[in-house]
């Protein structure tokens, strides 16, 4: 799979709130950090701990990609998350780094 295909597969699992399919697109040692470099998830177990409850609490959420940029093993998505239980639309930039057929690093930058 290309890096873009890996990220697209991850997006589809996210939009289906399928924690198993979502987690399967990440390496065991995945790191998810925010725009300031603060670690939000360190490893696949913590990714499941964070996203599993999020999916259960927001079964109608979905991320809409407004723009995607790809270069080598990098994929950058400009996205809007809708359908959360609180009805708040969230905008962010997700910067993915893919190794093989899995995502191994993500930087999430919230847009104000």
Q: How many domains does the chain have?
A: 1
Q: How far is CA 17 from CA 37, 48, 52, 111, in A?
A: 26, 12, 8, 23
**Per-residue model confidence as pLDDT tens digits over 50-105:** 999 999 999 999 999 999 999 999 999 999 999 999 999 999 999 999 999 999 99
* 38: containing domain: 3-110
**3-state secondary structure string, 29-48?**
EEEEEECCCCEEEECHHHHH
Predicted TM-score (pTM) of the model is 0.94
Give the CATH number for residue 39.
3.10.450.50
């Amino acid at each position: 799979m290309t890096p873009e295909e890996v990220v697209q597969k991850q997006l589809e699992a996210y939009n289906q709130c399928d924690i198993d399919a979502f987690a399967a697109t990440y390496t065991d040692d995945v790191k998810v950090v925010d725009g300031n470099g603060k670690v939000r998830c360190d490893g696949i177990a913590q990714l499941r701990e964070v996203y599993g409850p999020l999916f259960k609490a927001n079964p109608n959420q979905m991320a809409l990609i407004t723009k995607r940029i790809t270069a080598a093993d990098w994929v950058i998505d400009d996205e809007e998350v809708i359908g959360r239980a609180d009805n708040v639309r969230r905008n962010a930039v997700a910067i993915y780094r893919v190794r093989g057929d899995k995502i191994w690093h993500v930087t999430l930058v919230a847009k104000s």
